[in-house]
A and B are shown apart, each in its own frame.
Chain A
């Protein structure tokens, strides 16, 4: 069995996408769909949670998309949760089962799960941040015994925007996952927390010295969440973020995704705060 990234590296161009098939499409919310992708020639993605792929629609362009499925459940295919937000993703949303896309990757550094083992995990997630976080969450749940507490703080604009609602219900039903939800705009059936994600912090009590926090969400969220994590005294090196930037090439050349001198597509998108503290552009 060979890996997609090796195939990309060994081709005559690192910009050469590998043609792949969309084998399933499901609608998650009004803005997000979940696409299942199958690679050709028995290739496997073999990704780390938190990594991304470059998705091509021939004739339209290419965009970086984080991988939503966990390595533990890859099974020859992988999943991408895609929001309809730009030129390319609008076209992707019109794709149906059987459509061809091009894939390069997986790129970047994912979350180092081996460093998380034995720790309590505090997941702090806003909006589309669930797309990459689901990969890590399922990876952890499929190896549940190797981790301590699993706490999820998840915020969305409104209840209908919550992603993966079926799985969310499963997680809530488990007694080894603590789920805390909040929305900005509640509907009539909502009886839980209302407000920004930081409103959920008073609900949780963590053992700071044995906790790893993983924060994934829109850029504006990070500074506020960081303040809460600082209050909790979680060590800087145990606070992990995933950074969104304009990763045009995915291979550290095009310059668009730089945080100071660091290429997010190479050194990230996962960073811990100890690495970011002196990168002034990280939280700007």
Chain B
């Protein structure tokens, strides 16, 4: 494994050098929460942060993205401008896993060149979480509290220095011409090893079953009354999908200027929780009921993405639980489904064949 060591004292200079040729974004404090934003002053960069409000997906599949520019008379039809080179610093590993799923989604079948352009413009510098970042997260159960690939560079905080695991040549390029970066010695590797091993005790298991059972559990519970109960609580605001690092659905609309001469085709984040999401022209809605929309959401997270892309669609970041006004938390939903299934199984086992008669 290729590890580099950078003394912490040199870190601000490195970030400043990166800013010279690229946009540098990372987690920073804003209104008492943490968001990914442009880092103009290294002092603003908060590498030890609880989960950001929005995941870094906003730099790869922006909330609003112009796809095409055109003139209504047909004299011009062209692609939107190329995205600018960007380094994203301090990405939690749950989000790295989520972007690996994004890579599959946007390349399977047809390649989405707009996503690809963003992906190529972005250099991903992730960071090892050494302690859980929020009470809502359950990354350990989902296998996302660490990562071995999917990043260009991966940082580990060793106290006096940062260790960097080099994932790609693109990541290695960020060190070009910078002198305060050293190959890891045997001693460094031992410290890295200890740091990585010691972290696990602080990460609790919160899922009451093995994640491998998740798709089957959801499959068996397609007709569960759980979805009706969630439908009763859900406000259909779509917050959960906006903050979800693996939600990618979008709507496409055309926007025209006031002269009615120039137009743009724009895509925006959409949400399967919104009433109109599956409605077709003419008014038929294929997911009219809130229960059906909540079910679709959880099925996608626990089963459908696995079926379609070979990866579980939930990384356990806990953002949706924090954002939900109705206090719907996926860890509770998954555990409750499991508990009910267990209870049903037990009831089936305990069902006597004959009545026992008292002697």
A-to-B contact residues, CB < 8 Å: 9, 12-17, 19, 58-63, 83, 85-89, 100, 102, 218-219, 244-246, 248-249, 251-256, 258, 260-263, 266, 280-281, 284
| New A-B contacts (15) at CB < 8 Å, excluding given A58-B72, A246-B277 | A13-B79, A14-B113, A59-B254, A59-B263, A61-B252, A63-B281, A244-B280, A244-B284, A245-B278, A246-B280, A246-B286, A248-B252, A252-B108, A254-B251, A256-B278
B126-137, CB under 8 A of A: which get 1 and which 0?
000000000000
Task: Choose among B79, B106, B253, B267 the residue that contacts A12 (Cβ–Cβ < 8 A).
Answer: B79
- B10 close to A (CB within 8 Å): no
Task: Choose among B68, B72, B105 the residue that contacts A15 (Cβ–Cβ < 8 A).
Answer: B68
**Interface SS of chain B:** mixed
Residue among A83, A260, A262 facing the most chain B CB atoms (10 A cut-off): A260
- B248 close to A (CB within 8 Å): yes
A185 vs B249: C-alpha distance when bound (angstroms): 41
Shortest Cβ distance from B253 into chain A, in angstroms?
Answer: 6
Task: Choose among A83, A87, A254, A284 the residue that contacts B252 (Cβ–Cβ < 8 A).
Answer: A254
Beta-carbon contact of B67 and A13 below 8 Å: yes
Tell me which residues from 111 to 131 in chain B have a Cβ below 8 Å from any Cβ of chain A.
111-114
Tell me which residues from 54 to 91 in chain B have a Cβ below 8 Å from any Cβ of chain A.
67-68, 70, 72, 74, 77, 79
Shortest Cβ distance from B49 into chain A, in angstroms?
Answer: 29
Residue among B70, B77, B265 facing the most chain A CB atoms (10 A cut-off): B265
Beta-carbon contact of A12 and B307 below 8 Å: no
- The size class of the interface chain B forms with chain A is 35 or more
Q: Which residues of B contact A253 (CB under 8 A)?
A: 105-106, 110, 112, 248, 250
Beta-carbon contact of A12 and B113 below 8 Å: yes
B285-307, CB under 8 A of A: which get 1 and which 0?
01100001000100110011101
Beta-carbon contact of B265 and A255 below 8 Å: no
Beta-carbon contact of A255 and B250 below 8 Å: yes
Beta-carbon contact of A246 and B278 below 8 Å: yes
A1 vs B109: C-alpha distance when bound (angstroms): 24
B-to-A contact residues, CB < 8 Å: 67-68, 70, 72, 74, 77, 79, 105-106, 108-114, 222-223, 248-254, 256, 260, 263, 265, 267, 270, 272, 277-282, 284, 286-287, 292, 296, 299-300, 303-305, 307-308
Task: Choose among B105, B112, B223, B286 the residue that contacts A245 (Cβ–Cβ < 8 A).
Answer: B286
Q: Which residues of A contact B114 (CB under 8 A)?
A: 13, 15
A54 vs B176: C-alpha distance when bound (angstroms): 46
A59 vs B111: C-alpha distance when bound (angstroms): 25
Q: Which residues of B contact A249 (CB under 8 A)?
A: 250, 252
Beta-carbon contact of A266 and B270 below 8 Å: no
Q: Which residues of A contact B300 (CB under 8 A)?
A: 261
In the complex, 16 of the A-B residue pairs with CB atoms within 8 angstroms, ordered by the A residue number, are A13-B68, A13-B114, A16-B77, A58-B263, A61-B252, A61-B253, A62-B265, A86-B282, A100-B74, A245-B280, A254-B251, A254-B267, A255-B272, A260-B299, A261-B304, A281-B286
